[in-house]
Structure 1
C-alpha cells in the first residue's frame, strides 16, 4: 500500500471512529473538541471533525464551464453530484497534485462539498485551554473564517470555521 493511500485510510478510520461516537458530543464550550488536521503548503489547519463525511484520494473532477479557478469541477459520489473546491487556490496558495493530495468531503449547511488539500494529518482532541483566540491583526489579514489557534506541543493549528467559509458569498456554492 502506498504511503498516501495508507495515510488516507488511517484518516478515514479516524473519521469513522469519531462519526460513530458523534452522539456523545456535547458541543459545550467547556468540552474538548476534535479536529481533522490537514496541510496546505507549510501551514497546518484544523476543521471540526463533525463536518467531515469522508476522505478520498484526489481524482481529477469533471470541469464545469465558467466556474471560478478554485472550483475544480464536480464528481459523482454514490449518486450525489459534489462540487470540488481547491482550498489551496482559494487561500491564494500554489496547487500541486501529488500522491498525498486528498479531498475532504464535508457535509456543511445542508450540502456535500469536497475540498482539496495537500495532505491529511490526523484527528486531534483539543481542550478549551489549548485553543486561543485568533490574532487581532487589523484589516491586513482576513480572519473571518478562523475560529482560533490550537497549540499542541510545538504544533500550531489554524482552526477554520469551514461552514462559514463554504457558505460565504465568495465561495459561490450556496444561494
Structure 2
C-alpha cells in the first residue's frame, strides 16, 4: 500500500474498472481520515492504557486484548496534531499492520468514527500537490467524500513505530 507504483496509478484517468475498496472513516479534530477496512480487527470504546516508560510521546501505552498485549498509538500525536482528552466519542481501532518483520496487531486512538466509505481507485488523488501538515509518507491519497476532503492513510507506515525511531536517530 502506498508504494511508488500504486501512487502513480492515482493520477491516471478513470479506467471504469471495479477497483472499489471499503475504508473506515473517522475524525481527528475537524479533519476526516480513513483506513482500509480490511485492516480493522475491532473497534473498541475508549479505555485507559498502561503507560510504557521511555516510549515515544505518541505511544499512549498498552491494552490487554483477550490475553494479547497490544501497543496503542495516539494518532493525533503521531500526525503532529495537539493532544485531546478522551471523551464519549473517542474510540480505539485495533488494526492488523504489515511490517518488514511480518504482521502485527496495533491499536490507535481516534476522536470519532464516521462511516464506511467505498473508494474507487479512480477517485483517489495523490497528496503530493497539496500542502498537508502531516508526513506525506503516511498518506495513501485524498478523496472527496460528500464535499469533505478525506485523507486515506497508509496505515502500515503510520503505525510503523520502529520506523519512527530510526528516523529520529
Range of TM-score over shorter length: 0.7 to 0.9
Label 1:37 to 1:137 Cα distance change in 2 as closer, same or farther (>3 A): closer
Structure 2 residues not aligned, in runs of 5+: 1-16
Pick the aligned partner of 2:114 from 114, 121, 124. Answer: 121
Structure 1 residues not aligned, in runs of 5+: 1-28
How big is the alpha-carbon RMSD for the aligned residues of Structure 1 and Structure 2? 2.1
Normalized per residue, which structure has more helix? 1
CA–CA distance in 1 between the matches of 2:132 and 2:121?
Answer: 27
Listed one character per residue, the Cα deviations across residues 7-61 of structure 1 (whole Å, up to 9, x for unaligned) are: xxxxxxxxxxxxxxxxxxxxxx851011000111111001111111010011111
1:26 equivalent in structure 2: none
1:130 matched to 2:123: yes
Equivalent pair of 1:165/1:171 in contact (CA under 8 Å):
no
**TM-score, length-scaled by structure 1:** 0.75
Pick the aligned partner of 2:164 from 159, 163, 170. Answer: 170
Number of residue pairs aligned between Structure 1 and Structure 2: 144
Listed one character per residue, the Cα deviations across residues 121-171 of structure 1 (whole Å, up to 9, x for unaligned) are: 111001223211113358975311111111123121101101122226116
2:37 equivalent in structure 1: 49
Runs of 4+ aligned residues of structure 1 deviating over 3 Å after TM superposition are 137-141
**TM-score, length-scaled by structure 2:** 0.78
CA–CA distance in 2 between the matches of 1:86 and 1:140?
Answer: 17
How many Å apart are 1:96 and its aligned residue? 2.1
1:156 match: secondary structure: strand
Label 1:158 to 1:96 Cα distance change in 2 as closer, same or farther (>3 A): same
CA–CA distance in 1 between the matches of 2:140 and 2:29?
Answer: 20
